[in-house]
Amino acid sequence: MRFGGLTALHDFSIRVFRGDIVGLIGPNGAGKTTCFNVMTGFYRPTEGKVLFEGRDLTGMGPHQVCRAGIARTFQNIRLFANETVLQNVMIGCHVRHPLHWWEAPLHFGPVAAKERAIRDRAMALLEEVELAHLAGECAASLPYGAQRRLEIARALATEPRFLLLDEPAAGMNPQESQKLLAFIRHVRERFNVTIMLIEHDMKVVMGVCEHIWVLDYGVLIAQGTPKEIQANPRVIEAYLGEEAVADA
């Protein structure tokens, strides 16, 4: 992936197996979010392809990638800030339960039944992320950690088979980060979804990921299990540092 004279990703190739929880780590500016943007249709790669379950997604728009079964959260939270918590999740549900333009003004019969089903589905997802009691609150009024969980609930509302989480532990205290580990595992099992995350909190990465790729200046410098990554001299030099390895 090139931007003018800047190569953000170079000869980068990975394979994620169904049902795994995997991580993509590296210093700031390494190309991690660019990778997510390529995978989800925000960027079209300068060269190469994006394949999902044997289907070529290269060149598809984000909405088409989402319909194909890939959902994501963002490094900088992107909620519909002026809508309620419930409405944010209901919007995600409409990917699988769309209304035609001429159905929007109608509130009876099949249309009303579809809206009730979407509302019920959204409320169930809010229960999963422990936000059901805040369903009527404005999304912008939620604490930071709750906004992160809401964004995950909205992504899950699209019924993905592959979920990309961009720094889900950002802004969380150590107790919240520890709780996140169990939550990510729960999401994998409960929703039968493959998960890939970008994260700087090494306790989260090493605690939940089964395989990790390491980027540095857009180049893959290592891959392996958490134990292999912690022991890799190149990764320690470029990113982790001795202290981070000890803490993780």
* CATH number of the domain that residue 19 is part of: 3.40.50.300
Which of 100, 130, 158 marks a domain boundary?
Answer: 158
pLDDT at 243 over 60: no
The pLDDT assigned to 244 comes to: 52
Which of 134, 158, 182 marks a domain boundary?
Answer: 158
**Same domain membership, residue 170 and residue 57:** yes
Please count the other Cβ atoms lying within 10 Å of the Cβ belonging to residue 180: 25
**Same domain membership, residue 109 and residue 45:** no
- Confidence band for 96, pLDDT divided at 50, 70 and 90: confident
The mean pLDDT of the chain is 90
**Same domain membership, residue 186 and residue 128:** no
Residue 37 lies in domain: 1-69+160-248
pTM: 0.89
Query: Which pLDDT tens digit goes with each residue over 76-91?
Result: 899 999 999 999 999 9
pLDDT at 149 over 70: yes
74 assigned to some structural domain: no
- Give the residue-averaged pLDDT of 208-232: 95
The C-alpha torsion from 64 through 23 and 148 to 201, rounded to 10°, is -160
Domain count, the chain: 2
Alpha-carbon torsion (142, 146, 147, 153), positive or negative: negative
- Confidence band for 174, pLDDT divided at 50, 70 and 90: confident
Query: Which pLDDT tens digit goes with each residue over 110-129?
Result: 777 788 889 999 999 999 99
The pLDDT assigned to 178 comes to: 87
**Same domain membership, residue 112 and residue 56:** no
